[in-house]
Amino acid sequence: TSDFAAMREYIHEGKNGALFKRNDAVSLASAMRRVLDRPPPRPAPVFPVLSVEEHTTELWKIYGKVTGR
């Protein structure tokens, strides 16, 4: 994202994007190189989607542990 006005407040270099100087092709190329040279992000953990019945069963198990029943 171009390092212009409020954008620099939202973009955090290396975390959610890359900043480059506005109207500067060399700066843009450098930002693109930084992004391409970064290791790929780790995928988010994938949790199984439970049916309503499975979810309810799990909640009853937790309830039983908490209440001692």
- List, in sequence order, every residue forming a beta bridge with 17; answer none if it has no partner: 13
pLDDT at position 56 is 96
pLDDT at position 9 is 83
Q: Could you state, in chain order, the average pLDDT of each consecutive group of 10 residues for the chain (69 residues)?
A: 77 85 93 88 84 95 92
pLDDT at position 29 is 96
pLDDT at position 31 is 92
Q: What secondary structure does DSSP assign to 8-66, as a single string?
A: HHH--BTTTB--B-TT-HHHHHHHHHHHHHSPPPPPPP--PPPPHHHHHHHHHHHHHHH
pLDDT at position 39 is 83
